[in-house]
Amino acid sequence: MIIAILSLLAAQPLVTFAQPEDTTMLHVKKTNDFVITGDGSAPAWDVEPWMILPQRNKGRVTYQTSVKLLYSDSGIYCLYQCEDHKITATLQEDFSDLFNEDVVEAFFWTDESVPLYFEYELSPLNHELAILVPNFKGYFLGWRPWHYEGRRKTKHATHITEKNGHILSWTAEFFIPFSLLKPLQHVPPNKGMRWRANFYRIDYDDLISEWSWQLTQTNFHDYERFGTLLFD
């Protein structure tokens, strides 16, 4: 687990340049594999713009949430930057109900011919939930991976930023190997291939606040409303 507290000199505000609107398609660039650090410090991220996730319910907080994506021959990389002044996270186990506390989530639907997609969650304490979700007419439940080890294991890390003893933000960085997603179809993706996907954040400062790339109607599992990833 990587949880870092930056000093006053090192602490920086959230980056604000990004895609200006909520679009339905995101181009995902290819990269060489790199080391997950939790703070997005790998040079591969530098040229990738942030995509701002719209806040869907206006509660007492109006934090900014941004996402970056990359992919390689071996897997897909995700980086979340979450403005936050209060971390609500107590769960200390992987595969627990992380969605009941502060969390980021990514859903990947690789084949539109079947209602089956992969869900990944990561908490500020660097605990994960990785499940395959069959969803039949709104009835869904996740299945945990078997032989979740070696090349099939994700890589993930988180990073909390403070300034003068006050929390400013947290970041979540993770790598999902394509070997974990098999035998889903269209894995690994080739150039020009498309997946459906959505990206979320939940925050529990006083009231529940939610962010999502694409607006869903019933819940986060409204997969027919996912956006489209185009692999460049």
DSSP 23-88: -SEEEEEE-------SS--SGGGTTSPEEEPPBSS--S----EEEEEEE-SSEEEEEEEEE-SS--
Chunked mean pLDDT (size 10), the chain, 232 residues: 36 42 86 98 96 87 95 98 97 97 98 97 98 92 95 98 96 98 96 98 92 94 97 97
What pLDDT was estimated at residue 63?
Answer: 94
What pLDDT was estimated at residue 9?
Answer: 31
What pLDDT was estimated at residue 57?
Answer: 85
What pLDDT was estimated at residue 180?
Answer: 98
What pLDDT was estimated at residue 8?
Answer: 31
Determine if the pTM surpasses 0.75.
Answer: yes
Give the domains, in start order, of the chain with CATH numbers: 18-231 (2.60.40.1190)
